Structure 1
Amino acid sequence: MAFLSHVRTVIAIAAVAAVSVMTVPAQAGAARTADPGIPGKYATVEGEYDLPGAGIPELEKPVEMRALVIAPAGVTTGRPVVVFLHGRQDACYIPGTDNYQDGWPCPAGSQPVPSYRGFRSMQRLLASQGFLTVSISANGVNAQDGLDDYGAQARSSLIRLHLGKWADWAGAGAEKAPAIVRQAAPADLSRVMLAGHSRGGEGANRAVMDSLTPPPSEVDGYRGRVRWTIRGLVGIAPTNSGQNPVPDVPSMMMLGGCDGDVGPEGQMYVDATRGVSTGAALHSALYVIGANHNFYNSEWTPGQSAAPSDDDWWLTDDEVCGPGRPTRLTAAQQQKAGATYLAAAARVFLLDDDAVLPLIDGTGVSAPSAGPARVLSHAIGAARRPVIIPGPDLSVEGARLCEQVTGDVSRACQPRGDDEPPRSPHFMGYNYMEAEPGRWAVQLQAGKPAVLTPPQAAEAAGGLAMRLIVPPNTTGNTFDVAVTDRSGRRVDLGAVSVDGLPGTRNTASQWAREVRVPLRDVTSVAKLEIRPRGSAGGWLLDAWAYRPGTPDPQIRALPRIDVGTARVKEGDSGTTTLGLPLTVTGTVTDTAQVRVFIDNTTSTVLTVKPGQQRLTVPFSVPANTRFGDNTLVLLHAKAVRGLMVGNYYRTSTIEDDDPAPAIEVEATSHVTEGAPLRWGLRLSEPADTPLCLYGPVVAAGEGAELSTTDLDPQWLGEYGVTPEPSRPLSTVGLDTYHCVAPGQVSAAVEIPTVTDDVAEGPERIRIDGAIDLRSRTVPYTLIGEVADR
C-alpha cells in the first residue's frame, strides 16, 4: 500500500495532536489533506436491476435480487466497487398508512420497504469520486431471519450472489447484463469494499469471511467460485452478536453516541481482532457524537422515507440524546458525516490513499465537509506494535488490573446492576455472557502513578499510542507519561489530556480516546508509567508503538470454525454425553485457539492442532426413566488466536425419551358459595418438568354463568380484574394456569368464591384447558357449579 509516499504528510498531521486530544464539545482539528466529503470529477449514472429471486438455505421463501446502482459514467477503465447492505427493518408496509405488513413476498395491498434506496447520498458522493456503488435489497432475509445467527449467514449469501452476478457480467455474461450495468463504468472486482448498516453490517462481515474461507455447504446460498477480492469493510452502526470479526481485512466501524437500537456493539469488530492474527490490518472505530441508529439510512428517517420511520432514540428527556438537544445531529448532518467518512475509508482501503488516513486512525483530525458533526477515532493494527496488552502476565503497581466482563464486582472494571446497561462499549459481554475470561484493562486511580511492566520489553520507535477511557462529562483529565527502556533508562514523554464524552446513564459514553506521545530517543519499552494528575482517573485498554501509514494488511484465508448441532437420546440409566461439534474449514498450519461457551455459564479454551478438522465439546446429563423436557444445550465460539469463527452459535438437543405419566383430571367441581372450586390433577408417577393445565374461562353454556362479583376480589386482582361492575367471567379475559411441580404427583386448580345475600340459583364456570406433553397437547374441560348457601 501507499506507505512511504504519504509518511511525511501523515507525520505532520500527527504532530499537531501528539501530546493532547482536543476537548469535547470542541471540534477536533480540521484535516490538512484532501476532504473526502467533497464530490469528485466524475459524471454519474444511476438505475436499478431486478433479477429472479434466489433460494437461500434456512429461508423458506426465495429472496429478491434487486439493487440500486450509482456509478461513474463515460469511463472505460475498471472502477473499485463499494457494495451496501441495509439493516433489518420490516419488509413490507401499507402505503398511505403508518402500518407495516407481515409476510413475504409482500401481501396484496402492501409494498416492500425500499431500505436499499436509503444510501443514495453516500452512493452519489462515492460515484462522483470514481467508485462503482451497488446497494442491495434484503427484505426477503429480513422477513425470515428468526435464526440462531439472526440471518447473518443468509445476508452473506445474498451479498456474494450479487458479487457473483457482477463477476458474470464482467466476463462472458456481459451481453446479458442489465441496462444499468452496461451503462455504468466497468467493475474492478479486485478492489471491493463492503458497507453494511445495522444487521447488514454483521452480514457484510460474514461475507468478507465467507469470501476468504467458505462456510459449510449446508448453510451457504452461494456455490460458485470467488471471483472478487474484498479489501475493506465498513460497519455503519453494525450489530455484532457473534463478535467474530475478520482480523486480516481492514475495517472501519461507525458508532453512534445516541444509537437507541443496537448501541455500540460494533466496537468489538475492532477490539476482538487484537492478538488473533498478524495485526497488520487497520481496524478503526469512529465515535459520532449525537448520531442515532436510523438516520444513516434516509428510508428509515422521518420526513425522507417512503415507509413509516422514526427516531430510534427512545428517551425524549435525555440531556444528551433527546431530540433537539445541542449534542444531537440532524438527519442531514448525520448522513453527510456518514458519507464523508465512508468515502475516507474507501480511499484508504481501495485506493491505498494514506493522505486521508488521519481521519480514521486516531490521529485526532476531522473532515471539514462533515460540518458540525464531531467524529472521533481510534484504531489498532496497521503499523502499530504491542507494548502493553493488559493480562495476568502484566505487572501492575499503583493501579488495578481488572476484568472487562465478569459478574464478580471485586474484579470488574466497571461493576453494574442487573438492569443497568453497559457504560463502555469496550466492556460489553459476548452475546449476554455474564463472564468472559481473557479480556482485561488497567484501572488508573486518581493522583496515583501506575507502573506497568510487561513480561518482555517491547521494541518501540516513532510514537506511543494509548487507548484511554475517562468518565463522561469530565474535563481537565491529564496524564503524565514516562517509559523505562530495557537498559533501565527512564524517559519522560510528556502529558496527554483527555476530556470525557457527552453522556448520561442511558449512553455508553465511556469510549476510549487514542492519545499519542513521541518516543524521543527511545527504542524499547520495559516499563510504562502513567501518572494521573489531580482527580483524573480512567482505564487503559492498551498501548502501542505507533508509526503512521498502512502497510500491507497481509490478507489471508485463515482457517475457520463453525459451530454445528447434535442430537442424542437421554437413555434410562447412567450418564448420557452429547458431543457438541465444531467443524474446521481450511488448513491449520500453526496451533490455533478458540474459546467455547456452554449454556452461557461456563467457558474453556480449545486448542486446534495442525491438520485437525473437527472438535467436540462434551456435555453430560444423568439419564433416567422419568418424563421431562428435552435438554437444549447452547454452544458459542469466539476466536482467540489463529482462526476465524463463522457460525458462532448453535443449539443441540439431548432428547428426553421417556413416556409421559398418565394424567387424571377431575372434570367437575360442585360447591356452595364461599367454598373454593377445586379440580384435582393427579399423575401416575412424578415427572422432571412441570405439567401444567392452562386455558381460558369461556361461556358456560347451559345455565347461569358465574360473575366477577361471585369470586374473591384478591384472587381476581392477581389476574388484573376488578369485581365491579359485575360481569360474566367469560368476558373479562381470565386465563388459568396451574401446575404439578417436578417430583410431585398432584396439584389442584382452585378458584375461591364469596358469599352474598342474593338468591341466584346454581351458577356455572367452564374452563377449556389443555396440558402440553412435549410433542402433543391433551385437552381437558373443567366444569364448576356454585350453589346458594
Structure 2
Amino acid sequence: MGTSARRCIAAGVTVLLSSALLAAPAVATPAVSSPVAAEVASGPNWSVDRAPGGYQVTVELDRPLPIRGDAPTILVDGEPIGLATESADGRSLTVVTADPAVAAADSVEPGWSSESGGTAAASARVPTAVPDAAVEDLAADPLDPGPYDWTESIYAFGDQAVPLAAIGGIRGELEGKLYLPTTGGARPTVILLHGRHGSCYGDGAANPNRWPCAASPDASPARLSIPSYLGYDGTARALASQGYAVVSISANAVNANDNQLAADQGAQARGQLILDTLTMLDNATNGRRVAYADAWTDREVTLNQALAAGTAALAARAGAFPGGVDPLDTVRAADLRGRFDLSHIGLMGHSRGGEGVTSAAVLNQALPNPWAIESILPLAPVDFGRMTVPDVPMNVILPYCDGDVSNQQGQHLLDDSRYAFDDDVLRSGVWVMGANHNFFNTVWTPGLFSFSVSDDWGSAARRVEPICGTDPSVANTSIRLSPEEQYDVGTAYMSAWFRLTMGGEEQFLPMFDGSRAVPASLGDADVRSVSTAPAGSRSTLASFDSPSAAVTTAGAATAAVCASLSERTVPQHLPPCASTPSAVAPHWTPASNGGNVPATPLTRLTWSAPGDGLSVAVPAGQRDASRFQRLSVKLAADETVGVGTDLVLSVVDGVGATWSAPVSQLNPYALVRMPTSDTAAAASTLKKIVLQQVDVPIAELSAAGLDVTRLATVQLTGAAGATDPTGAGAAYVSDLAFESSAVGEPRSRTWPSIDVYAPNTDEGDGPGTTEVAVYLDRPSPVPVTGYVSVLGSATSRFGATMQEVTFGPGETCKVVTASRQGDTVASASAGTQVKASVINTSGAVMGRRAIGFTWLREDDGVLDGGVPLPSYGTPGSACDELAEVQAGARIGARGVARPGTSAVVTASGFRAGETVTVAVDGLAPVDVVADARGAVAHTVAVPAVVDARYLVVTGVGAGTGRTATGQLVVASPGR
C-alpha cells in the first residue's frame, strides 16, 4: 500500500513535501492592428504614444512579468495610472489613458495593484511594542495525526482536457493529487486549489501560446508544468488521516492566461474548474465511465490512463525536488468507486485560488441543483471582484508579512458577506503575524522545489525591514516565522477549519471565534482571529455602518459613519475612513474590478478627553442576553493614532448597575496599531489598520451584579492609556452584538444571480452616454443590491461610472448610464476597451457575466493603414437589447437549396448599421451590415458536395452580441 510512512506523522512535527456573452457581446475579440503611432515621450524600456482620446503608455520588461497573485499596474513618475494589460509573451505592459501628464513623463515603471495608492511618511518608530495578549490553551491539536491510513495517487487527463470558463475559449488541464483514506466507504471531500504562480519550467522551447508548456506534445528536451498542487501535502495528509478524501488540483492553464484573456483575472475559470472536478469525482464514485478528450495530444484519456499518466508525471518532475518525492500508490478507477461523499464538500484556495473557491461557491449557488459545498477557506486570497458568499461558513487566512497581495484585500470577503444575505453561518478571519504569501505551499518555497521559488517579502529593502525581514541583522526584531513554522500554522488552521465545519469537531471553535486560542504545537505563534457569529447565534445591537438614533455621543466626542479610502474618482455618499496607502488599510483597499465601490462602512469615533465617547441604547426587544456567551465589538486604532489609544467599555443594566473595563485589558491588540518600523519598506505596507475583536463574557457581567436579562446600554468612552496618556484619541467601531460561538447552518440552495450587459458602441462625434444593463436571472422576492461600475476615468474615452442599483420584488433589469467622449478625428487605434462590472452584491450572487469587457469603436477612421473594428450600429435601450439577446434569433433560407447553387440567408432583430458575422458550415465567415430595419441578407454559394441534409448557419452581431441560429436545408446531400 505504501501508506505506513505517510500516516506515521509525529504529533506537532512539520510535514514538508519530500516528494462572456452578456458581459461583453459574444463575438471574437477583433484583431486590432498596431500601426506606428506618434511617440510623445520615451525612456529606457518605455514609451508614451498617442491613442484614441489620449495616450498609450507601454513598459518593455527585460524578462517576463513574474507570475504572482497581484494585478500589474504602470507607475508614471511614481503614481499609478491604472491596471495594465499584459502582452501575450509577458514582456510588456500597457495602459491607455487620456491624462495629459503622461506626455511629460520622466519615469515609467511597472508596479503592482496592492502596493499602489496613498502617500505615507516613514514611521518615526522602531518596532511597535504591544503587551502580549493572553492566549487560551486549546484542548485538542489539529497537528496530531489521525487513526487512518490513506493512499496517494495522481490523475492527469491531459493539458487540454477541459474547456475553461470566461478565459478566451482556451482549454486546460484536469490534473490533481488524490489522498484517499483506506477506511472504505464514502468520505467527506475537500478540494485544494493553488494560486497564481509560475506555470512552466525546463530547458525546452516555450509554447508561444503560453499553455501547454511545451511547443509540441513530443518536444524534446521537455518543458514541464510546475506541480503547485503538490505543495499542500501537510494539510492533505492531516485531513486524510482523519478520514477525509482530499483532492489537490492543478490550474496552470489558468495561471498562464488569466492576465491576458480574462476580464475577472481568472476567478470564474478557477471556480468552474472546481465544479468540473466535482463532476469528475461524482462520476468516479458512482462507477460511471470517466474519460476526457485531450485536445493537445488528440486522444481520449480514461480514468485508468489518467492515473497511470499521473504516476509518470511525478516521476518526470522528481528531479526538481531537492529532497526527492515519495512514491505513489497503485490506484485504479475501480478503487474510487463509492469513495467520495459529495454531500459534504469543503474548498480551500490559495492566492488567486482563494477567489477561485469563492467563485466556485457563488457559481454553485446559481445552479438549479447546487453541490453541497458546506465550507470554504480562502488562504491569502485576492478579491478583485468583491464577491459575497451566502450560506457557507468561511474562514479567510491573512498573512501579515504578505509581500505579494500586500493589501490583504481578502478581508473584503468577510466584510462584504457578513450582512449581505439572510443566512446563518460563521465567518472568521485569521491573521497570521509573521507569515508571508508563498510559504504555505512547499512548491513555492526555496529549498523545497528548484524552480520559480521565492520569499515574496524578499526584495533587498524588505529583507532588512525590522518587522518582516529575514536578514540576520534584523533577527532581534523580526516577527517572521520560519518556512517550517508557517507551514505548520497553515496545516493546523486549514485542517482544523474543515474538521470543525464539516466534521462537527467543536473543540476547534476557539481557533476561529475570536477567543485567541492557538494549538500548543505552534508554540508562541501570534495568530489572531476575528469572527462574525452566525445570525442564529447573534443579536446585533449596532452594526455602525449607517447612522442610528440608538447611537449617541457624550462630551466633545464625534461619531461619523465613513467608508472607503480617500481619492475615489466618483462622488461618494460617505466620507472616507482613511487616506493611508492601500496596503495599510485592508478593509478599504479599492477592488481592481470596482475601485469606486464603497468599502466597509463603519463608525469613526473621536474624543478629546476621558469620559467623552459614544453610547448605544440596547433595543427593548434585545435586552435579554442570557442565552448568549458574550458581548462583542470590533475596534481598531484610527489612522491618526501613532502607536495606540484606549477606551473604557461599559455595560449598564436597566436599574443602573454598571460593569466597566479598559479595552486594553480585554484585548491588548485592539487599539494599538499593528507592528511597523521606521523604514520606507514598512511605511506603505505595515502598521495596518485591522479591526480586532473585543469580547466580554455575559457570565462576567452577571457575576458583577448586572441583570443580564435587562441590559440597557453599552458605552465606549475615552481613557488614558499606556501608549497615549492624554485621554484623547480616535478609533474605528463596528459590529456590536450579543453572540455565541457556533458554525451555524450551511445550506445548499439556489440564489438569484446578477450580471451586467455592456454592449459595444461607437464613440460618436462628441460627449455622450452609453447604456449598461444590470439584470437578474429571475425575479427575487427580497430586495437585491449591486454596485455597477464602468472602469473608465475622467481622462479616458469612457468616464468613470459607479452606481448602486437596487431591485425591488419582481424587477429584473435596470439601466446604468456611463459617459463617453467622442470626436470627429481619426486616430491610430481602432478602439478603446474597458471593463464593466456588478460587484459587492446582496440578496443575489454574482453571475457568470458579472464582470466583462466593452468596446468603444473609433468611428472616424484608423490612421496608418490600421484595421477598423466592425461597425456597432445605432444602440437602443440596453434592457430592450438584452431581452432580444436572451430571446435569440433565427437565421436561414427559404425553401431547399441544391448543391452547387446559391441561397439567400436572412435574419432580423439586429441594430441598424451593426456588422453581423454570418457563418455557414464549411465556408469562410462573412461580415454583413444590417440595414435600417436591423435585417441582414447574404447570398451563400452552396458547395457542390454536401455531406449532410443541412448546413448550420449562425449570425452574430458585433455591437449587441445577439446570436441568430438556423439551418440551410440541402435537397440531396452529395457523397
Q: Which residue of 2 aligns with 1:10?
A: none
Largest Rg, 1 or 2 = 1
Moved more, 152-161 or 629-638: 629-638
Q: Which residue of 2 aligns with 1:321?
A: 468
- Residue 548 and residue 311 in structure 1: after superposition, are their counterparts in 2 closer, same or farther (change >3 A)? same
1:422 aligns with 2:576: no
Please report how far the alpha carbon of residue 55 of structure 1 lies from its aligned counterpart in structure 2 after TM superposition.
1.7
Gaps of 5+ in 2: 1-128, 291-301, 305-330, 569-573, 678-682, 702-706, 793-799, 866-975
Residue 383 of structure 2 contacts residue 591 of structure 2 at CA under 8 Å; is this kept in 1?
no
For 2:687 and 2:760, the matched residues in 1 are separated by 40
For 1:560 and 1:384, the matched residues in 2 are separated by 27
Q: Which residue of 2 aligns with 1:592?
A: 784
Q: Which residue of 2 aligns with 1:87?
A: 195
Q: Which residue of 2 aligns with 1:198?
A: 351
Residue 406 of structure 1 contacts residue 435 of structure 1 at CA under 8 Å; is this kept in 2?
no
- Residue 361 and residue 351 in structure 1: after superposition, are their counterparts in 2 closer, same or farther (change >3 A)? same
1:401 aligns with 2:555: no
- Residue 318 and residue 181 in structure 1: after superposition, are their counterparts in 2 closer, same or farther (change >3 A)? farther
Please report how far the alpha carbon of residue 28 of structure 1 lies from its aligned counterpart in structure 2 after TM superposition.
4.9
Of the three residues 529, 547, 567, the one matched with 1:377 is 529
For 2:204 and 2:452, the matched residues in 1 are separated by 9
For 1:467 and 1:422, the matched residues in 2 are separated by 20
1:267 aligns with 2:267: no
RCO higher in 1 or 2 (8 Å CA, sep ≥ 6)? Answer: 2
Of the three residues 804, 817, 837, the one matched with 1:618 is 817
Amino acid at match of 2:213: C
Q: Which residue of 1 aligns with 2:178?
A: 69
Q: Which residue of 2 aligns with 1:764?
A: none
Q: Deviations over 1:171-197 (max 9, x none)?
A: 141797543564468111010000000
Please report how far the alpha carbon of residue 451 of structure 1 lies from its aligned counterpart in structure 2 after TM superposition.
1.2
1:208 aligns with 2:394: no
Q: Percent identity?
A: 27
RMSD (CA atoms): 3.2
Q: Deviations over 1:554-587 (max 9, x none)?
A: 55332121233311234458x7542213232355
Please report how far the alpha carbon of residue 35 of structure 1 lies from its aligned counterpart in structure 2 after TM superposition.
1.5
Q: Which residue of 2 aligns with 1:433?
A: 595
Residue 87 of structure 1 contacts residue 199 of structure 1 at CA under 8 Å; is this kept in 2?
yes
For 1:194 and 1:276, the matched residues in 2 are separated by 21
Please report how far the alpha carbon of residue 550 of structure 1 lies from its aligned counterpart in structure 2 after TM superposition.
2.8
For 1:557 and 1:237, the matched residues in 2 are separated by 28
SS at match of 2:439: helix
1:121-200 correspondence to structure 2 within 5 Å: 121-145=234-258, 146=260, 147-173=262-288, 177-178=303-304, 179=331, 182-183=334-335, 186-200=339-353
Please report how far the alpha carbon of residue 328 of structure 1 lies from its aligned counterpart in structure 2 after TM superposition.
0.3
Q: Which residue of 1 aligns with 2:635?
A: 468
Residue 412 of structure 2 contacts residue 600 of structure 2 at CA under 8 Å; is this kept in 1?
no
Amino acid at match of 2:273: L
Please report how far the alpha carbon of residue 640 of structure 1 lies from its aligned counterpart in structure 2 after TM superposition.
4.6
Residue 632 of structure 2 contacts residue 736 of structure 2 at CA under 8 Å; is this kept in 1?
yes
Of the three residues 248, 251, 256, the one matched with 2:394 is 251
Amino acid at match of 2:143: G
Amino acid at match of 1:333: E
- Residue 181 and residue 369 in structure 1: after superposition, are their counterparts in 2 closer, same or farther (change >3 A)? farther
Please report how far the alpha carbon of residue 523 of structure 1 lies from its aligned counterpart in structure 2 after TM superposition.
4.2
- Residue 471 and residue 568 in structure 1: after superposition, are their counterparts in 2 closer, same or farther (change >3 A)? closer
Amino acid at match of 1:451: L
For 2:450 and 2:591, the matched residues in 1 are separated by 36
Please report how far the alpha carbon of residue 623 of structure 1 lies from its aligned counterpart in structure 2 after TM superposition.
5.9
Q: Which residue of 2 aligns with 1:105?
A: 212
1:510-529 correspondence to structure 2 within 5 Å: 510-519=689-698, 520=701, 521-523=707-709, 527-529=713-715
Amino acid at match of 2:364: S
For 2:751 and 2:419, the matched residues in 1 are separated by 14
Gaps of 5+ in 1: 1-22, 215-224, 664-789
For 1:593 and 1:457, the matched residues in 2 are separated by 29
Amino acid at match of 2:187: R
For 1:503 and 1:138, the matched residues in 2 are separated by 35
- Residue 622 and residue 360 in structure 1: after superposition, are their counterparts in 2 closer, same or farther (change >3 A)? closer
Amino acid at match of 1:530: L
Q: Which residue of 1 aligns with 2:118?
A: none
Of the three residues 648, 654, 676, the one matched with 1:503 is 676
Q: Deviations over 1:324-363 (max 9, x none)?
A: 5441011111111101011111012111222211111111
Amino acid at match of 2:419: G
For 2:811 and 2:348, the matched residues in 1 are separated by 34
SS at match of 1:144: helix
Please report how far the alpha carbon of residue 481 of structure 1 lies from its aligned counterpart in structure 2 after TM superposition.
1.3
For 1:554 and 1:187, the matched residues in 2 are separated by 19
Amino acid at match of 2:663: V
SS at match of 1:200: helix
Moved more, 75-84 or 184-193: 184-193
1:240 aligns with 2:394: no
Please report how far the alpha carbon of residue 659 of structure 1 lies from its aligned counterpart in structure 2 after TM superposition.
3.2
1:327-338 correspondence to structure 2 within 5 Å: 327-338=479-490
Residue 63 of structure 1 contacts residue 141 of structure 1 at CA under 8 Å; is this kept in 2?
yes
Of the three residues 798, 806, 812, the one matched with 1:607 is 806
Residue 349 of structure 2 contacts residue 381 of structure 2 at CA under 8 Å; is this kept in 1?
yes
- Residue 447 and residue 77 in structure 1: after superposition, are their counterparts in 2 closer, same or farther (change >3 A)? farther
Q: Deviations over 1:184-235 (max 9, x none)?
A: 6811101000000000111111001111104xxxxxxxxxx85731001001
Q: Which residue of 1 aligns with 2:231?
A: 118
Of the three residues 487, 492, 516, the one matched with 1:340 is 492
For 2:763 and 2:483, the matched residues in 1 are separated by 56
Residue 753 of structure 2 contacts residue 777 of structure 2 at CA under 8 Å; is this kept in 1?
yes
- Residue 516 and residue 592 in structure 1: after superposition, are their counterparts in 2 closer, same or farther (change >3 A)? same
Amino acid at match of 1:110: R
Q: Which residue of 2 aligns with 1:541?
A: 734
For 1:126 and 1:640, the matched residues in 2 are separated by 33
For 2:253 and 2:188, the matched residues in 1 are separated by 27
Amino acid at match of 1:522: V
Amino acid at match of 2:145: P
Q: Which residue of 1 aligns with 2:901?
A: none
Residue 94 of structure 1 contacts residue 100 of structure 1 at CA under 8 Å; is this kept in 2?
no
Amino acid at match of 1:480: V
Of the three residues 481, 491, 494, the one matched with 2:649 is 481
1:627 aligns with 2:826: yes
SS at match of 2:584: coil
Amino acid at match of 1:50: A
Amino acid at match of 2:284: W
Structure 2 length normalisation: TM-score?
Answer: 0.60
For 1:344 and 1:299, the matched residues in 2 are separated by 22
Please report how far the alpha carbon of residue 157 of structure 1 lies from its aligned counterpart in structure 2 after TM superposition.
1.4
SS at match of 2:566: coil
Moved more, 445-454 or 473-482: 473-482
- Residue 301 and residue 370 in structure 1: after superposition, are their counterparts in 2 closer, same or farther (change >3 A)? same
Residue 784 of structure 2 contacts residue 808 of structure 2 at CA under 8 Å; is this kept in 1?
yes
Q: Deviations over 1:101-127 (max 9, x none)?
A: 982111244210110101111111111
Q: Which residue of 2 aligns with 1:641?
A: 842
